[in-house]
Structure 1
């Protein structure tokens, strides 16, 4: 379960309302945060139905998920800056309208390609919408009200993740109006319209020191990441033809051009998308890589797990969502406990949380490997709970640790970049894990192995990457915490 979204850039110098905002204004903002996270999780339980309904390959359904995360991630910083410059309430309303329209496009998609494009657009509108929620909560309330508002936001995002799994499975299985999986997107339309019409009661605010948006830099970063992710997703299905290697090579060239461009923009006194001086700090650089590693394991596990229990073991979408719900509860409980553990034992507790997370993944691998035709899916519950608990122990305090390595005047930029790493990590994880999942599934099919065993083998084999990635993350966390203690 992944619901930690660190806030993007928000400048202290801003025009803000003096009157106490209404409860309805807070509700509308929380609703905006809810639907962006809900739509990330609800797709997980619907993926097997989407795959069957559209005849989609693993690469295509992988891009349905990864495309949303990628567009969301690379545009988060731009969304925050646009709100600072042009008005956060205005951008919130624009984001809600865009999210509703793109959700409609997702629900009406006639084929996998159309759905992928619609999800990319949906992720982009989510990136316009989501930063305004954080920024508006900051400027609408005093310190006491802000703590309460952000507490409610955290609870809302946690509930959105759980609802996405359980309620999402229920509405897919209910086949409302004969729409099947399409209803998970179409329900956003009335929600978006209601929120859009109500957004006028949210007081407007903007920053007098808003940074510009580095559109060429964002374009280079997006192109480079797409050139990398596309061959990683398509390669296993197509036998790794020449174009896949050419695309990955081109991605390195484009990403190098992105770094050069960012340096030139900063040297010329402009506002780069990423301040490269952040990476002079070894702790922040290593921590950013840890964030990418940790978050690469989350979305990929949800995807493969949904395929295992639905396509492999024959569970309904609702049963699959209900099976995963205890992991979400474990995450929420651990998220409440984690700050206290860090206070009591220091930042090394985060490395301990990562080891618990790895133990949960390892237990899932062993349990899934033993599943067969007479599989008792209840055996998956204990490792799922440990998985969710370990995820909460490690993810929740990790962001504060990493951002803590930079100077206060760079904290906004660092938070925006770490938010991007969360989403890009999720997209990257789906791509890498897909290589193993598809390869094992195809290999077992050629040997005449049963469907349930094929999917169990594919899940267990693919999750070895997740297990190794979290162990590496735990080792890196230990290293950077010791470096900090040593004063380096």
Structure 2
């Protein structure tokens, strides 16, 4: 469950003094955070309906999810800097308005291609709005009240992830106004119409030392990621033609150009999109890889699981949404325990949490592969609880572990980089598991093999990547921990 968000590279700097915020101002900010995360998760339960409605391929529905995460991830740092420079309330309002409009475009999309484009821009507007929530809470409240405010925000984002799947399933199944899956997007329009005028209640603030935005760097990074994700998603269906390999080669060239440009901007005294000097610290660079690996397993699992239980097992969207609830309960419980375990056992506890996470994935794979006459909910419940518990033990302390090795003056940039790695990891995971899922599901059916069994095999095969990714992340954390002990 990708509940653990961190501030996206927003430099708070020296901000203009502001009055004590009202409860309404806090509510509007929490609403902005809620809908951003809600729309990340709600699509999971709607994907089978979208795929059926548009006769879409896995690559197309994969891009519906990955496009949102990609745009959201690569523009988070820029969104934070725009707020610092032009006013955080102004950018929050602009982002909320844009999110409502792009959500409407998602809801009226006539085909899969239009929906993918609208989702990309929806993620971009979310990246404009979301960093302002953290920055405004940071400057609106004094040190004594700040912990309470961020605690409320954390609970809100956790609730948004759970509601995105449970409430999202109910919305799709209820078929309000005969809109079907489109209601999950259209509901954001009235929310935006109400929230944008009320955003005036939020005190304005900006940074007196705001830095510039490296638009060329952002463009190069976005192009490099698109050139990588497109062939990974389309390759299995297209049979890996020459253009897919050419695209991946072009992605490497774009990444190289991005790094060269970042070094040039830094040497010339500018403000790069990413401070590449952060990666000179082995703990941060290795930790960033761990973040990418761990977060690549979350969205991809929920996508494949939704296709399994709805398209394969014939469950309704609401039934599928409620299946996610046990994992959410496990995640919340582990999130409370994880910081205490790290305090007592050190960073090695993070690796232990990842082993529990891997065990949950493995158990889920075996449970899916051996489904019989027992009700699906009862058969999968223990594995889902352990899976969610392992996620909470892994993800909750991981971000602090990685960012904590960076000095305070660069903590904002480090947080922005890690936020980006979370979202890019999610998009990358969807692309990679699609290779396995589509490959197995597309094989010539064995005589006597049911639809449910075919989807179960595809799910278990695709989750092989997730299992290996989590185990690799655990090994990396163990190596980081040993290196720290060796240095000390």
Q: TM-score, normalised by structure 1?
A: 0.98
Q: Secondary structure at the match of 1:388?
A: helix
Give me the whole-angstrom Cα distance separating, in 2, the residues matched to 1:260 and 1:446. Answer: 51
1:444 deviation in Å? 4.9
Q: 1:48 aligned to 2:48?
A: yes
- Residues 9 and 417 in structure 2, CA contact (< 8 A), matched pair in contact too: no
Match of 2:434 in 1: 434
Give me the whole-angstrom Cα distance separating, in 2, the residues matched to 1:403 and 1:276. Answer: 14
- Residues 17 and 203 in structure 1, CA contact (< 8 A), matched pair in contact too: no
Match of 2:176 in 1: 176
Match of 1:342 in 2: 342
Pairwise mapping of residues 127-166 of structure 1 onto structure 2 (< 5 A)? 127-166=127-166
Q: 1:467 aligned to 2:475?
A: no
Give me the whole-angstrom Cα distance separating, in 2, the residues matched to 1:85 and 1:398. Answer: 30
Pairwise mapping of residues 357-396 of structure 1 onto structure 2 (< 5 A)? 357-371=357-371, 376-396=376-396
Q: What's the CA shift string for 1:349-371, capped at 9, x where partnerless?
A: 11111011000000001111112
Give me the whole-angstrom Cα distance separating, in 2, the residues matched to 1:294 and 1:49. Answer: 28
Q: What's the CA shift string for 1:182-227, capped at 9, x where partnerless?
A: 0000000111111101000100000011111100000000000000
Between stretches 447-456 and 88-97, larger displacement belongs to 447-456
Give me the whole-angstrom Cα distance separating, in 1, the residues matched to 2:447 and 2:301. Answer: 25
**Which residues of structure 1 form unaligned runs of 5+?**
none
- Residues 28 and 198 in structure 1, CA contact (< 8 A), matched pair in contact too: yes
Q: Secondary structure at the match of 1:486?
A: helix
- Residues 29 and 133 in structure 2, CA contact (< 8 A), matched pair in contact too: yes
Pairwise mapping of residues 315-354 of structure 1 onto structure 2 (< 5 A)? 315-354=315-354
1:283 deviation in Å? 0.5
- Residues 84 and 206 in structure 1, CA contact (< 8 A), matched pair in contact too: yes
Q: 1:103 aligned to 2:87?
A: no
Q: What's the CA shift string for 1:248-297, capped at 9, x where partnerless?
A: 01000011000000010101000000111111100000000000000000
1:332 deviation in Å? 1.2
Q: 1:311 aligned to 2:291?
A: no
Pairwise mapping of residues 50-129 of structure 1 onto structure 2 (< 5 A)? 50-129=50-129
Provide closer, same or farther for how the CA distance between residues 485 and 174 of structure 1 changes in structure 2, counting only shifts above 3 A. same
- Residues 9 and 76 in structure 2, CA contact (< 8 A), matched pair in contact too: no
1:422 deviation in Å? 0.1
Match of 1:476 in 2: 476
Give me the whole-angstrom Cα distance separating, in 2, the residues matched to 1:428 and 1:11. Answer: 28
Match of 1:217 in 2: 217
* Alignment RMSD: 1.2
Give me the whole-angstrom Cα distance separating, in 1, the residues matched to 2:444 and 2:139. Answer: 56
Match of 1:419 in 2: 419
Provide closer, same or farther for how the CA distance between residues 49 and 20 of structure 1 changes in structure 2, counting only shifts above 3 A. same
1:482 deviation in Å? 1.7
Between stretches 437-446 and 99-108, larger displacement belongs to 437-446
Q: Secondary structure at the match of 1:311?
A: helix
- Residues 72 and 126 in structure 1, CA contact (< 8 A), matched pair in contact too: yes
- How many residue pairs end up in the alignment? 488
Q: TM-score, normalised by structure 2?
A: 0.98
Give me the whole-angstrom Cα distance separating, in 2, the residues matched to 1:101 and 1:386. Answer: 39
1:375 deviation in Å? 6.1
1:9 deviation in Å? 2.3
Provide closer, same or farther for how the CA distance between residues 195 and 156 of structure 1 changes in structure 2, counting only shifts above 3 A. same
- Residues 25 and 199 in structure 1, CA contact (< 8 A), matched pair in contact too: yes
- Residues 19 and 203 in structure 2, CA contact (< 8 A), matched pair in contact too: no
- Residues 15 and 205 in structure 1, CA contact (< 8 A), matched pair in contact too: yes
1:480 deviation in Å? 0.6
Match of 1:250 in 2: 250
Q: Secondary structure at the match of 2:487?
A: coil
- Residues 79 and 131 in structure 1, CA contact (< 8 A), matched pair in contact too: yes
1:374 deviation in Å? 7.0
- Residues 18 and 205 in structure 2, CA contact (< 8 A), matched pair in contact too: no
- Residues 299 and 430 in structure 2, CA contact (< 8 A), matched pair in contact too: yes
